């Protein structure tokens, strides 16, 4: 059997360039086929979403999500992204809460060339959206965190690269989100992810073993779930096999018809954590992974400037008495674990900045920092390995491009998704609301500019892309009826946040209020807290007072008898508010057309043969398995049998159609198709399985009389 390393060498023979070119060409062909009426719109939607192309609120244009593992980008890559935005978009960039970059208003026809241009500097769109393994996030300070047991960035990078293009991650019931925190502080919020990892070191036979606390089944959205602890310690070599086996189980047993119940959290909630882990253990035999990876290679990519002398905090502050610099230094600068070096957070309001700023920032990073910039989950940018003597000059350079604002991660640093600006699902405005809140904090509560333990987060709808469920003070877009008219509204949530080491709190709903009263909401909450708290953090105060107390506190703001005409106009708008919710594209669409399913089956068989040739036998086996499932689903649908999960399709095929295709009680379809987790993915097994599934698909085509060329 070829090893993982041999597989890498074989794929390099094909070259990554050829794989990317195949991807880009396929996207272009499918777009053309759609325009010619040869494939359905939903089929194209599923394909383009898995390639980072997402329909906007505005008709006829697309949002492009650029996938950057744990937010890492080099100055060269940042310049490439700028070129692409200027050429295909509007010259604007948006940092997301998953450390991606988004650009907007892109023509669908131009997306293949856009993707090709990005790949010139190793930047991908693949699996940035859709029912896939999404971007892997991690602590922005991984590698420089004084409290970290070890650097988690190489692991996040490896997970990102390993799962890219994996066959079991292309057509899931819903998306998969993975996060790595650098320490028990858990600033990556592992507890609201499908997979969360917190680094640990344990002693074993006198040696230090690296590993992770593993969390599974978390998620935000309309129904938030806190993750379960799967393992208190799992060695570093075991994390990828665990993730792969888990995703395979999710692919087979996860809900597919009801999108609202299709995340991994619901599957674990349905069958229980113990049963889930038992299925994962059984599936592990099918995983073809050999941890022959040198994690230290990652560090060779970081250029650390030579250090002439160490500057203390006092020495740095004495260099510039400008109050603005002093404030910026106190809120935006941290000491690294590498003595004498500093890291700087570049505060980017709402994550929105221009390509002109980004290009100049790339120049600044090359002059003062390492070549490893990080986009953060709170929509800012981290620069690392800065010398103490350069901090004043760095501040002046950042201020010169309007990126020298203080108050990073403070009460005046509000997180928000794009909301109704561009998103189909946005109900009411989130971006302008965030801006006016920040202005209010700076104008009326300047003493709270240094307050970094109260976070305000806003989403345009209940789906929590702005992470309102994690906020101490959270809002999500909504609406309210007033007689025959509709008001833009905000649902107020309080008490969310991390508690450390993989545990956390989900913010609780308190009351829904008109959007235009948001500043009074903030004033009421902050004035009450500042007047009555007893040396407590905000969440401690919230717990002591209770949800009902805050409902009563804010209830006067719900008085609709005092509504003014301006309250019917949402923030940032001039026209009267009306709800215009489109169809969300956060996940792909299941296509239940027999011919389409058979076409997909043949495509997957082609993929199985190609991956077999390059030694990826586990992938080739899974492509063949998926081909068999698609073919079985096609014939079930033709026979009016309702289909949902892969497991259900297998069961229903045995129940209704097995005898028609030569299966019986001792030789069931279930035993046939699930050979994938009963056999190690050897060359011999893969070759035989692909041949058997090919014959099965052909027999289905013969029965349906829908041959696929």
Express each pLDDT in 413-443 by its tens digit: 999 998 888 887 788 889 999 999 999 999 9
Answer with the one of 345, 369, 400 that is the final residue of a domain: 400
Answer with the one of 519, 553, 568 that is the final residue of a domain: 568
Instruction: Say whether pLDDT at 22 is over 90.
Output: no
Residues 379 and 429 placed together within one structural domain of the fold = no
Q: What is the pLDDT of residues 361-388, one digit of tens each?
A: 999 999 999 999 999 999 999 999 999 9
Average pLDDT over residues 297-313: 66
368 is a domain residue: yes
SS3 66: strand
411: number of Cβ within 10 Å: 26
Nearest to 444 by CA among 526, 504, 337, 503: 526
Joined together, the tokens standing for residue 94 give: 């948006």
Joined together, the tokens standing for residue 238 give: 């075991």
- The DSSP secondary structure of 546-562, one letter per residue, reads -HHHHHHHHGGGG-GGG
| Confidence band for 91, pLDDT divided at 50, 70 and 90 | very high
Q: Which residue has the tokens 């998620």?
A: 219
Dihedral sign (CA 457, 460, 466, 468): positive
What is residue 304's predicted lDDT score, i.e. its pLDDT?
64
Instruction: Say whether pLDDT at 15 is over 60.
Output: no
696 is a domain residue: yes
Residues 366 and 427 placed together within one structural domain of the fold = no
- The DSSP secondary structure of 438-481, one letter per residue, reads HHHHHHH-GGGGG--S--EEEESSTT-TT-GGG-SEEEEEEEEE
Instruction: Say whether pLDDT at 709 is over 80.
Output: no
Residues 392 and 430 placed together within one structural domain of the fold = no
Residues 421 and 367 placed together within one structural domain of the fold = no
| Confidence band for 543, pLDDT divided at 50, 70 and 90 | very high
**CA atoms of 210 and 236, how far apart (whole Å):** 6
Assess contact for 352 and 93: CB atoms under 8 A. Answer: yes
Residues 551 and 476 placed together within one structural domain of the fold = yes
Where do the DSSP E strands lie in 283-403? Answer: 333-335, 341-346, 352-354, 373-375, 381-387
Instruction: Say whether pLDDT at 100 is over 60.
Output: yes
Task: For residue 232, give Cα distances in angstroms to 197, 214, 508.
Answer: 10, 6, 28
Which residues, 6+ apart, have CB-to-CB distance to 517 below 8 Å?
A: 557, 567
Task: For residue 200, give Cα distances in angstroms to 231, 248, 443, 640.
Answer: 11, 26, 43, 52
Q: Report the chain's terminal Cα–Cα distance, integer Å.
A: 33
Nearest to 75 by CA among 333, 334, 368, 298: 368
Nearest to 455 by CA among 465, 443, 467, 447: 467
Task: For residue 428, give Cα distances in angstroms to 37, 59, 374, 509.
Answer: 35, 18, 30, 17
289 is a domain residue: no
Residue 433, domain CATH: 3.30.413.10
Instruction: Say whether pLDDT at 601 is over 70.
Output: yes
What is residue 416's predicted lDDT score, i.e. its pLDDT?
92
Residues 383 and 424 placed together within one structural domain of the fold = no
β-strand pairing of 62-66 with 101-106: antiparallel
Q: Which residue has the tokens 């586990």?
A: 618
Residues 333 and 465 placed together within one structural domain of the fold = no
577 is a domain residue: no
Q: What is the pLDDT of residues 231-251, one digit of tens each?
A: 999 999 999 999 999 999 999
Burial pattern 180-206, b for ≥16 Cβ within 10 A else e, equals bbbbbbbbbbbbbbbbbbbbbeeeeee
| Confidence band for 302, pLDDT divided at 50, 70 and 90 | low
Nearest to 348 by CA among 386, 381, 299: 381
Joined together, the tokens standing for residue 646 give: 């892969």
Instruction: Print the domain residue range for 514.
Output: 415-568
Residues 521 and 452 placed together within one structural domain of the fold = yes
Question: Cα 397 to the chain's mean position, in Å?
Answer: 31
Joined together, the tokens standing for residue 656 give: 């209704």
Assess contact for 71 and 99: CB atoms under 8 A. Answer: yes
Residue 346, domain CATH: 3.90.480.20
Assess contact for 660 and 595: CB atoms under 8 A. Answer: no
Residues 561 and 481 placed together within one structural domain of the fold = yes
Dihedral sign (CA 84, 87, 93, 98): negative
Answer with the one of 105, 129, 153 that is the final residue of a domain: 129
- The DSSP secondary structure of 110-155, one letter per residue, reads GHHHHHHHHHTTT-B-TTSSSSSEEEEEE-TTTTT-TT-SS--HHH
344 is a domain residue: yes
Assess contact for 191 and 275: CB atoms under 8 A. Answer: no
136 is a domain residue: no
**CA atoms of 249 and 399, how far apart (whole Å):** 50
Average pLDDT over residues 159-182: 95
Angle between the N-to-C axes of helices 646-656 and 617-638, in degrees from 0 to 180, rounded to the nearest 10 = 50
| Confidence band for 587, pLDDT divided at 50, 70 and 90 | very low
Q: Which residue has the tokens 């946005």?
A: 426
Residues 632 and 685 placed together within one structural domain of the fold = yes
Q: What are phi and psi of 170, to 5 degrees?
A: -100, -30
Considering the chain, what is the average pLDDT of its residues?
90
Nearest to 697 by CA among 635, 631, 604: 631
Residues 120 and 29 placed together within one structural domain of the fold = yes
Joined together, the tokens standing for residue 437 give: 């809140």
317 is a domain residue: yes
% of the chain surpassing 70 pLDDT: 93
620 is a domain residue: yes
% of the chain surpassing 90 pLDDT: 72
Q: Which residue has the tokens 């409290």?
A: 147
**CA atoms of 75 and 360, how far apart (whole Å):** 10
Instruction: Say whether pLDDT at 580 is over 70.
Output: no
Instruction: Say whether pLDDT at 576 is over 90.
Output: no
What is residue 531's predicted lDDT score, i.e. its pLDDT?
94
β-bridge partners, 216: 195, 228
Assess contact for 213 and 501: CB atoms under 8 A. Answer: yes
Joined together, the tokens standing for residue 172 give: 């899931």
Joined together, the tokens standing for residue 189 give: 């919020």
What is residue 8's predicted lDDT score, i.e. its pLDDT?
47
**CA atoms of 265 and 435, how far apart (whole Å):** 33
Q: What is the pLDDT of residues 460-485, one digit of tens each?
A: 988 888 999 999 999 999 998 888 78
Instruction: Say whether pLDDT at 452 is over 90.
Output: no
As for how many domains the chain has, the answer is 4
Rg (C-alpha) for the chain, rounded Å, is: 26
| Confidence band for 663, pLDDT divided at 50, 70 and 90 | very high
SS3 2: coil
**CA atoms of 587 and 593, how far apart (whole Å):** 18
Q: Which of 4-13, 104-113, 481-490 has the lowest mean pLDDT?
A: 4-13
| Confidence band for 144, pLDDT divided at 50, 70 and 90 | very high
Residue 679, domain CATH: 1.20.120.330
Residues 424 and 457 placed together within one structural domain of the fold = yes
């Amino acid at each position: 059997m070829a090893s993982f390393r041999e597989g890498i060498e074989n794929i390099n023979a094909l070259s990554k360039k050829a794989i990317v070119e195949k991807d880009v060409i396929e996207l272009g062909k499918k777009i053309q086929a759609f325009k010619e009426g040869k494939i359905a719109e939903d089929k194209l939607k599923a394909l383009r979403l898995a390639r980072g192309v997402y329909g906007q609120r505005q008709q006829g244009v697309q949002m492009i999500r650029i996938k950057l593992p744990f937010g890492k980008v080099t100055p060269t890559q940042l310049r490439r992204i700028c070129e692409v935005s200027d050429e295909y978009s509007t010259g604007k960039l948006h940092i997301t809460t998953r450390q991606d970059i988004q650009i907007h208003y892109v023509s669908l026809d131009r997306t293949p060339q856009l993707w090709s241009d990005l790949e010139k500097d190793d930047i991908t769109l693949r699996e940035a959206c859709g029912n896939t393994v999404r971007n892997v996030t991690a602590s922005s300070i991984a590698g420089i965190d004084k409290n970290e047991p070890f650097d988690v960035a190489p692991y996040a990078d490896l997970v990102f690269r390993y799962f890219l293009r994996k066959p079991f991650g292309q057509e899931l019931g819903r998306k998969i989100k993975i996060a790595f925190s650098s320490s028990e502080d858990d600033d990556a919020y592992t507890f609201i992810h499908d997979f969360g990892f917190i680094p640990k070191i344990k002693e074993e036979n006198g040696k230090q073993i690296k590993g992770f606390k593993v969390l599974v089944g978390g998620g935000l959205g309309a129904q938030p779930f806190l993750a379960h602890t799967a393992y208190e310690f799992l060695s570093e070599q075991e994390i990828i096999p665990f993730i792969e086996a888990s995703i395979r189980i999710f692919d087979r047993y996860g809900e597919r018809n009801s999108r609202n119940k299709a995340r991994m959290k619901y599957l674990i909630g349905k069958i229980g954590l113990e049963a889930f882990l038992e299925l994962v253990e059984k599936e592990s035999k099918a995983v073809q992974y050999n941890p022959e990876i040198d994690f230290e290679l990652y560090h060779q990519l970081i250029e650390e400037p030579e250090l002439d002398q160490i500057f203390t905090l006092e020495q740095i502050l004495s260099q510039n008495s400008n109050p603005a610099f002093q404030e910026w230094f106190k809120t935006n600068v941290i000491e690294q674990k590498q003595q004498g070096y500093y890291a700087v957070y570049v505060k980017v309001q709402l994550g929105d900045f221009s390509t002109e700023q980004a290009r100049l920032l790339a120049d600044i990073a090359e002059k003062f920092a390492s070549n490893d910039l990080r986009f953060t989950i709170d929509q800012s940018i981290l620069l690392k390995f800065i010398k103490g003597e350069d901090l004043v000059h760095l501040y002046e350079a950042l201020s010169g491009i309007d990126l020298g604002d203080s108050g990073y991660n403070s009460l005046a640093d509000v997180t928000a998704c794009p909301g109704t600006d561009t998103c189909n699902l946005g109900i009411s405005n989130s971006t302008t609301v965030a801006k006016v809140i920040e202005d209010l904090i700076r104008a009326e509560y300047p003493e709270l500019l240094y307050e970094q333990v109260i976070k305000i987060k806003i989403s345009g709808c209940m789906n929590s892309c702005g992470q309102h469920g994690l906020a101490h003070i959270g809002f999500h877009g909504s609406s309210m009826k007033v007689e025959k008219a509709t008001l833009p509204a905000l649902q107020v949530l309080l008490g969310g946040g991390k508690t450390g080491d993989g545990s956390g709190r989900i913010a609780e709903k308190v009351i829904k209020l008109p959007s235009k009263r948001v500043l009074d909401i903030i004033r009421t909450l902050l004035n009450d807290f500042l007047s009555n708290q007893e040396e407590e953090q905000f969440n401690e105060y919230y717990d002591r007072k209770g949800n009902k107390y805050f409902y009563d506190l804010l209830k006067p703001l719900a008085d609709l008898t005092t509504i003014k005409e301006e309250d019917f106009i949402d923030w940032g708008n001039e026209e009267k508010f009306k709800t215009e919710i489109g169809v969300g594209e956060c996940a792909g669409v299941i296509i239940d057309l027999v011919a389409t399913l058979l076409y997909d089956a043949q495509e997957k068989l082609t993929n199985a043969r190609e991956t077999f040739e390059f030694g990826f036998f586990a992938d080739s086996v899974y492509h063949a398995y998926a081909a068999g499932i698609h073919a079985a689903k096609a014939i079930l649908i033709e026979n009016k049998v309702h289909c949902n999960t892969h497991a259900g399709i297998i069961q229903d095929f045995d129940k209704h159609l097995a005898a028609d295709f030569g299966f019986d009680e001792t030789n069931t379809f279930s035993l046939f198709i699930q050979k994938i987790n009963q056999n190690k993915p050897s060359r011999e097994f893969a070759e035989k399985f692909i041949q058997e599934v090919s014959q099965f698909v052909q027999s289905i085509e013969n029965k349906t009389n829908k041959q696929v060329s």
